[in-house]
């Protein structure tokens, strides 16, 4: 069966520091991968999605970036964090079929101070 991992689970970082969040998927090949952010108040915002290695689509202009160095690895990064980057970051994977179900990881709670 497929599983999705995210780490770290929680992170407290000072403003201006770099960020690296990692997401890995097991049990499937060539998944579509997604990064979402959920700020306080619940709404889910799609940040990036990837349909293959090295293929990244950005949804929202910001100081975050994403990379997919391996088929089942998706990394969210920042060179300098802002206070507004605080939130709950969720990684998800989906199949290649159109509008396939997305399955979410446990999330990373990021607090920028």
Q: Is 107 in the site for other proteins (CB under 8 A)?
A: yes
Closest distance of CB 25 from other proteins, Å: 14
Q: Which two tokens stand for residue 53?
A: 């290695």
Tell the smallest beta-carbon distance from residue 99 to other proteins (Å).
4
DSSP string across the chain: --EEEEE-SEEEE-TT--EEEEEEEES-SS-EEEEEEE-TTS-EEEEEEEEETTEEEESS-SSEEEEEEETTEEEEEESS--GGG-EEEEEEEE-SSTTPPEEE---EEEEE-
Q: Which of residues 6-25 bind other proteins (CB under 8 A)?
A: none
Distance CA 37, CA 52 (A): 21
Q: Among 1, 14, 29, 42, which residue sits at the site for other proteins (rule: CB under 8 A)? A: 42
Positive or negative, the Cα torsion across 105, 9, 71, 56?
Answer: positive
Binding mask 64-83 for other proteins (x = CB under 8 A): --------------------
Residues 46 to 65 in contact with other proteins, rule: CB under 8 A: 46, 49, 51, 59
How many residues of this chain bind other proteins (CB under 8 A)? 23
Confirm or reject binding of residue 102 to other proteins (CB under 8 A).
yes
* Binding footprint of other proteins on the chain (CB under 8 A): 32, 42-44, 46, 49, 51, 59, 88, 90, 92, 94, 98-107, 109
């Amino acid at each position: 069966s497929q599983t999705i991992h995210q780490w770290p689970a929680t992170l407290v970082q000072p403003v201006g520091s770099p960020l690296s969040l990692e997401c890995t998927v097991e049990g499937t090949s060539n998944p579509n991968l997604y990064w979402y952010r959920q700020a306080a108040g619940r709404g889910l915002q799609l940040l990036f999605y990837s349909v293959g290695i090295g293929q990244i689509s950005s949804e929202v202009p910001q100081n975050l970036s994403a990379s997919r160095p391996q088929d089942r690895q998706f990394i969210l990064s920042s060179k300098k964090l802002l206070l507004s980057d605080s939130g709950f970051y969720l990684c998800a994977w989906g199949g290649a079929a159109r509008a396939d179900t997305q399955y979410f990881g446990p999330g990373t709670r990021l607090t920028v101070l």
